[in-house]
Structure 1
Amino acid sequence: MGQETETKPTLIKMYVSGISASKEVKKRQQRAAMILTSIRVKFEEIDITEPGREEDRELVKKHCKNEEGNPLPPPHFFNDGEYCGSFEDFDTATESDRLPWFLKLDPAEFEFLYEKSRSASVEKA
């Protein structure tokens, strides 16, 4: 008797800063969380400023830079350890109905989002 392997649901990791003095950063973090919740994407919000999050801080420092090598403000998105992008990338993907691709979501798990994105792209053409 073969054992079925259970695929675990996608969990996006959204790295945030809980102590940012920037209202813009806080608004972006709230907007991203609201969008992910509204499309039923499971995500873990990780505050890189909390004690004990040194590895997470290093991960963000390593991957989340612009072309000049300067750090980008949070939030940042990862799927299964793979960097998806910054808030600017997230926002662009949201506005252009490309969020499932940006987040590297499993088409089988999120077929409804891919279908919605495809039909929205056809309507814009």
Structure 2
Amino acid sequence: MISHTVPFGKGYTAARDLVSLLQERGLFVSNTSRAEHFLEHIGYYRLSAYMYPLLKIPKNLHLYKEGATFEQVMMLYRFDKKLRVFLFNELEKIGSSGFWSDKVCHLCLEFEVMSHGGTERTEDY
């Protein structure tokens, strides 16, 4: 059997080593144990999206701007989390408000499509 998988070139790096790497790249970390905790529980790759705006150009060098801090990373992460929760709550309100069910009922009544017992217009579909 031929394997179509591509080997992953990066190995596991412990949280304390990740904190050291971020510091070497210029990110200020005031509380290393707290940073390690977040990297272990949230994950480096998830948090890396919030580190991206703090990188110097060219970003592929992975060097941080002067004054960039791990706390700024966490502030962006928390803001995004609160925004997602807010948006999903608002979308849920729209979904459960009866808006969509009213539209479906209107279309079924107007066109008699897929209404209970009415098959007159379904042959075209």
- TM class, shorter-length: under 0.3
By percentage of residues, which structure has more strand?
Answer: 1
TM-score by length of 2: 0.23
Compare relative contact order (CA 8 Å, sep 6+) and give the higher one, 1 or 2.
1
> Which structure: greater helix fraction?
2
